[in-house]
Amino acid sequence: MIPNLHSTILISVVIPVKNGAATIRQCLESLTGQTIARQLEIILIDSGSSDDTTKIAAEFAVQVLSIPAESFNHGLTRNLGVDNAKGEFIYFTVQDARLSSKDALQRMVEHFADKEIMAVCGKQAVPAETDKNPVDWFRPISAPDVQRYHFPDPSVYTSLPARRRLELSRWDNVNAMYRRFALQQLPFIRADFAEDMFWARSALEKGWAILSDTGIVTWHYHYRNFSYAFRETFILHYSIYRYFDILPDYPPITRRLRVILAILWREPSIGWRAKWNWFFHSLSDLWGNCLATMRFRQAARDGDEKEIQKAYWRYCSSVPLGRVKGQ
């Protein structure tokens, strides 16, 4: 049963956008097609789009907040959305994502019937579409899983090994919903990346309950050329090291290559020319991942914060912006 259905606006959807004309229509259509669409308030926070993003948004019943491009921050910009939201619950997604089912938000908000739950996270996955890398297509091998994480004594969580704390804090603002008062009490930090993981960590440290439901899926994909893969990997390593003090392991290159080859060889829906193109694309992605890992480990080798910061600003002076194929 959906709690507080009598509310005029049950859920505020907050979406940071910039130059998202290629995907924002599908994103908004997936939201306005939800079974509880009439309970939604949609807020776009546009940081200086120069394409038709806001023009397309005007076709939908959405509120657009405009901010200077240089002021965008993954954490603080989302806090701005919370400040302007009226809903009891806040759902975050991104301009190039779309919900995979019409009842996704209904199923997500139903978890809040448990009064202890402060936030719910779904799963992002890559749909089987020909403009997306077949190596990454969603091929579930197990049933969806619901996991409730709660440590009434926060010292139990903080005493766990760092990698286990990271595993429990894997969180994703591509597909996550929060109680608004929880975000008011515990806003996102200023962060270029992984503001969601830090929030989940902090919530568990406060003794709050959070929940993961992998059956609630949103489709999301970035075309990962070498530059994007390198910067996205480097900034992820930096964030995990900063928040959890964990150095990344070297990628299992040989095993990853075998997986890439096996998936492409067996995929019947694409031709050999496309398979070769995606193979070389996957190699570029893998090389970007490997090189970023090596460079980060090199910078963090002595634990010198100045060297780590210097490397971070050298490679990630701008946050990598996800793109679709052809952009």
Q: pLDDT digit of tens for each residue in the chain (327 aa)? A: 444 544 556 899 999 999 999 999 999 999 999 999 999 999 999 999 999 999 999 999 999 999 998 899 999 999 999 999 999 999 999 999 999 999 999 999 999 999 999 999 999 999 999 999 999 999 998 889 999 999 999 999 999 999 999 999 999 999 999 999 999 999 999 988 899 999 999 999 999 999 999 999 999 999 989 999 999 999 999 999 999 999 999 889 999 999 999 999 999 999 999 999 999 999 999 999 999 999 999 998 877 788 888 888 888 876 655 555 544
DSSP 122-170: EEEEB---TTS-GGGB----S---EEEEE-SSHHHHHTS-HHHHHHHT-
Start-to-end CA span in the chain (Å): 42
pLDDT for the residue numbered 166: 96
pLDDT for the residue numbered 6: 45
What residue spans define the domains of the chain? 11-220, 226-315
For domain 11-220, give the fold: Spore Coat Polysaccharide Biosynthesis Protein SpsA; Chain A (3.90.550)
DSSP 8-state code for residue 9: -
Instruction: Give the burial class of 112: count Cβ atoms within 10 A of its Cβ; 0-12 exposed, 13-18 middle, 19 or more buried.
Output: buried
Closest listed residue to residue 234, CA positions, set 164, 290, 152, 307: 290
pLDDT for the residue numbered 146: 96
pLDDT for the residue numbered 271: 95
Tell me the one-letter amino acid at 136.
D
